Structure 1
């Protein structure tokens, strides 16, 4: 194998969304860096099986429906 072709593999700390931490080895960052997760198996619906309700923030769904209400309707004549 050629020398210096692989990135540095070192130990980092991973912080889950619930605050728990664990150490692992990775090529991420520098030795001793911390990786904070936004989504992990304890909070993501793919693993938990619970879906969050989509809120109509600022009327975005109503705005979409109003904008595209006539699509798919044919005019006679």
Structure 2
């Protein structure tokens, strides 16, 4: 019995050069679809279920921002009061 060994010259992954075009990224959504969805999102009919849901979400988000800002301001004023 004989064992035959073959050696092939292979390049390591470090030595291989990758071009920038190999990693060209393309979004899942094309620009026409993006524009339509943004238009529908911002100009939704307030009488539809989607419009009502968006309005509720918008009001909750604004309320959360106001509460967050009020808490930060009150903590700042209290801290400033202790320092002075």
TM-score, structure 1 as length reference: 0.28
Name whichever structure is richer in helix by fraction: 2
Structure number with greater Rg is 2
TM-score, length basis structure 2: 0.27
